[in-house]
Amino acid sequence: PATLAANVKAVFTCLLDQVSQYITDGLERARDSLTEASALRERFVIGTSVSRRVAAAAASAAEAAAAAGESSFRSFMVAIQRCGSSVAIVQQYFANSISRLLLPVDGAHAASCEEMATAMSSAEGAAYKGLQQCIETVMAEVERLLSAEQKPTDYRSPDDGMAPDHRPTNACTRVVAYLSRVLEAAFTALEGLNKQAFLTELGNRLHKGLLNHWQKFTFNPSGGLRLKRDITEYGEFVRSFNAPTVDEKFELLGILANVFIVAPESLSTLFEGTPSIRKDAQRFIQLREDYKSAKLASKLSSLWSS
């Protein structure tokens, strides 16, 4: 039995090496596609002072780069899923067939378990790097859509007596549609802690990206209501992530948007129950259309210093 155990251990070690190499190579090939798509995106970043024809050509090329990014994202998620299946098969094979044959030799079972963990560590490293690239790919497309689709009048609609538009902005609709489409592959491929970590990080990045994006605009009260509608739309989508910390951030965004809606004299009491967003509120208030005309800086100086 001891000789058999030694031989089984040697063969299983060889199997682990081969499976680890196979999985890692597959993940690295999928990562190469993500890297190529990223290079394609970088190639078509242009300045603002270009002719209409050049801008149209660049926009068309950016669409092609975005399609390549989405395709590479899906391919990597397929590779992750196959990786998980291969690891599960090896673990099941070890538990059902190999484990009992190693018992006659002291320490052989524990040593093989350790070898199994070591063999899979390189694959885990490739998987982690690829998932980070997937997040970069998604956020690059979100930023492209926001930049292309969000109009200044979305949040600063003219006061023409027309009823305010309570629909989400086109930029928001496009972003949520994109996220719904592309993340379907992630929901299918990822499991357990990997899925939780990936979606939580993506949710945090989306929150940060939206905050930065909105700071490029000026808001009037009807625009503030439109912003709240967008935030509701984004918040409803990220609830599918099952990430409580992300949900909380988007709920606070909804509170933050009130800085554009309330009268100037009500601003000082707006965040009494939520001091955690005071710093963001201070930046956002400066985006109000009446920030200078209502002399809000001097009126609120005592609030920020307290």
Tally of domains in the chain? 2
Same-domain status, 211 and 305:
yes
Structure tokens at 174: 């496009």
Same-domain status, 101 and 227:
no
DSSP annotation of 160: S
Spatial distance between the Cα atoms of 75 and 71, rounded to a whole number of angstroms = 6
Same-domain status, 13 and 43:
yes
Same-domain status, 170 and 86:
no
Same-domain status, 141 and 196:
no
State which of 127, 149, 171 marks the end of a domain: 149
Residue 130: partners with Cβ closer than 8 Å, 6 or more residues away: 27, 30, 31, 34, 76, 79, 80
Same-domain status, 252 and 134:
no
Same-domain status, 64 and 80:
yes
Range of the domain at 256: 157-306
pLDDT tens, position by position, 203-247: 999 999 999 999 999 999 999 999 999 999 999 999 999 999 999
Category of 139 on φ-ψ map: left (φ > 0), alpha (ψ -120 to 50) or beta: alpha
Which DSSP string do the residues of 91-131 spell out, in sequence order?
Answer: HHHIIIIIHHHHTTSTTHHHHHHHHHHHHHHHHHHHHHHHH
Q: The tokens 């999928």 sit on which residue?
A: 30
Torsion angle (degrees, nearest 10) of CA 255, 257, 260, 265: 10
pTM for this structure? 0.89
What percent of the chain lies above the pLDDT cut of 70? 94
State which of 149, 165, 198 marks the end of a domain: 149
pLDDT tens, position by position, 35-76: 999 998 887 665 556 677 777 777 788 889 999 999 999 999
